[in-house]
A and B are shown apart, each in its own frame.
Chain A
């Protein structure tokens, strides 16, 4: 199971990196989102995907899945959500003010 998920994460990273290296700001944004998804899946996978009850004590099971990575992922999700929201608004603002939506056009060392 871990192998399959690892492959999926690899695909997410590949596509993400490809998108980040493209021209349009929106594609870059999508790329970062995909990489973030990959990383969250990675956190889940690296802790082990053993079968067990969901981490609720009410379940009264023999074994539970590791609760720690789930908390880490939850933290990381909200952080990247906030950052993505900021990035989208920033991209919108840059588009409105300069009419630029691709990074090639935002070169230029001097103002």
Chain B
């Protein structure tokens, strides 16, 4: 039975429903969330190992055969992302126990958290384009709730913007689905891929492809990221970590899935467009990361740079580059989760978000300082750490495809990541302590969570060979969509 495929969606869904009944019992809520988080990780790991052994798993909902019913598809790419989601969100959950105030916890923080997980994992696993829209909405509506929960002035100011951008992009998504349905008359992704290939992806389908690109780029922060730096500064650090690690990655996943499975017949147009969008994203993201002097914004612009980097890997399109994109995406979910958790720890340790108000934290918090340093090196892609393998694969694949200028831009953006994060490290941890006294906070638990993630980052870098085994299996499906189609259409 491949019912294991639906468990990563079902477990958080049931947990969320159960949690609604215990509004005032915060300890119980935490306990249930922890258990479900652990369960979720176990099933995700099981899923990955099963996909590794048996190839692509499919689950036809209600027993209706492929193009007529909704299919859940677990290929290696989706399975790896589901696993990483489970790991990162569990870490963020543990961090939430320490950093979210009781006031917020009482108002359904944990149920919203679980619903966000439902949306994210569902988006990864579904094989139907309209179902993808629905899971996007599940994810977005929970993110609206999480971003505004608490109702501070900043949150109330930023949420309407975030909401408006996402309403517009969702309506565009529906419009794109409508056009696509009119053009080819199906909604199942594998079937869509077949029909688009049959019709040869003419003018209309290219327009639809670009419309999908706009929709997903709005969600992922690829070039159309103007909403991101402001919106992601509004919620509390734990929610930021969740958003930074997961939300944009779902948009990226959708771009990668759409342009490796469905719209693959005219790469000269679509993939060139993605390449330039990626380049502009990396450049603008770098400018933002260098320009600002408050911590949340620097971190937010770093999210944007990495979105550009993964999209660049997709645009290069060679098997190496696709493997690299998968690897980098996995690394980035982990590292961005860690980055925002560390950012949150630094902010609560220093009592301010402005870098100019920080200094000398290394004396009091040496462990946090060095963890931030290791994270910086990992994000830049220094060899023994997790960011290296992905970057090398993407750059090598891009050079194979003859994209020299863009590769140089990508490498330059790594330098800017280094500069911006080292600036944080230098200003926050070295230098003189500010005159104002540091707030007294207990950061032991949060530090432990961050330490585990740091160990994972290091392990993923050292064990890159082992990880590559799985990544290559994911990349193979992305490079040859026929494998995916065969698994679902079963002819």
Bound-state CA distance A103–B151 (Å) is 17
| Sampled A-B contacts (7; CB under 8 Å) | A69-B181, A80-B171, A86-B144, A86-B145, A87-B160, A90-B156, A98-B156
| B430 CB-CB contact with A under 8 Å | no
> How many residues of B sit at the interface, in one of the four size bands?
20 to 34
- CB proximity of A8 to chain B, nearest CB, Å: 15
| B433 CB-CB contact with A under 8 Å | no
Closest 3 CB pairs of A and B: A46-B182, A46-B178, A43-B178
| Residues in A whose Cβ lies below 8 Å from that of B182 | 46-48
Which residues in chain A, 57-111, are within 8 Å of chain B measured between CB atoms? 68-69, 72, 75-76, 79-80, 82-83, 86-87, 90-91, 93-94, 97-98, 103, 106, 108-109, 111
Cβ-closest chain A residue relative to B68: A68
- CB proximity of A50 to chain B, nearest CB, Å: 13
Contact across chains for A39 and B171 when beta carbons are under 8 A apart: yes
Contact of A83 among B141, B148, B154 (CB under 8 A): B141
| B415 CB-CB contact with A under 8 Å | no
Contact across chains for A87 and B153 when beta carbons are under 8 A apart: no
- CB proximity of B448 to chain A, nearest CB, Å: 30
Contact across chains for A36 and B171 when beta carbons are under 8 A apart: yes
- CB proximity of B195 to chain A, nearest CB, Å: 15
Bound-state CA distance A82–B177 (Å) is 20
- CB proximity of A13 to chain B, nearest CB, Å: 9
Q: Known contacts being A87-B167, A97-B153, is A39 close to B178, with CB within 8 Å?
A: yes
| Residues in B whose Cβ lies below 8 Å from that of A98 | 153, 156-157
Encode B133-173 as 1/0 by CB contact (under 8 A) with A.
11001000100110010011110110111011001101100
Residues of B within 8 A of A (CB): 130, 133-134, 137, 141, 144-145, 148, 151-154, 156-157, 159-161, 163-164, 167-168, 170-171, 174-175, 177-179, 181-182, 187, 230
Bound-state CA distance A54–B171 (Å) is 26
Contact across chains for B144 and A20 when beta carbons are under 8 A apart: no
| Residues in B whose Cβ lies below 8 Å from that of A80 | 167, 170-171
| Residues in B whose Cβ lies below 8 Å from that of A48 | 182
Contact across chains for B168 and A46 when beta carbons are under 8 A apart: no
| Residues in A whose Cβ lies below 8 Å from that of B133 | 76
- CB proximity of B255 to chain A, nearest CB, Å: 21
| Residues in A whose Cβ lies below 8 Å from that of B160 | 25, 28, 87, 90-91, 94, 103, 106
Cβ-closest chain A residue relative to B183: A46
Contact across chains for A86 and B141 when beta carbons are under 8 A apart: yes
Contact across chains for B151 and A93 when beta carbons are under 8 A apart: yes
Contact across chains for B134 and A47 when beta carbons are under 8 A apart: no
- CB proximity of B132 to chain A, nearest CB, Å: 12
Contact across chains for B171 and A35 when beta carbons are under 8 A apart: yes
Contact across chains for B168 and A72 when beta carbons are under 8 A apart: no
Cβ-closest chain B residue relative to A37: B171
Q: Known contacts being A72-B177, A87-B163, is A106 close to B141, with CB within 8 Å?
A: no
Bound-state CA distance A94–B153 (Å) is 8
Contact across chains for A106 and B181 when beta carbons are under 8 A apart: no
| Residues in A whose Cβ lies below 8 Å from that of B157 | 94, 98, 106, 108
Bound-state CA distance A69–B153 (Å) is 41
Q: Known contacts being A39-B175, A47-B182, A90-B148, is A28 close to B153, with CB within 8 Å?
A: no
Bound-state CA distance A43–B179 (Å) is 8
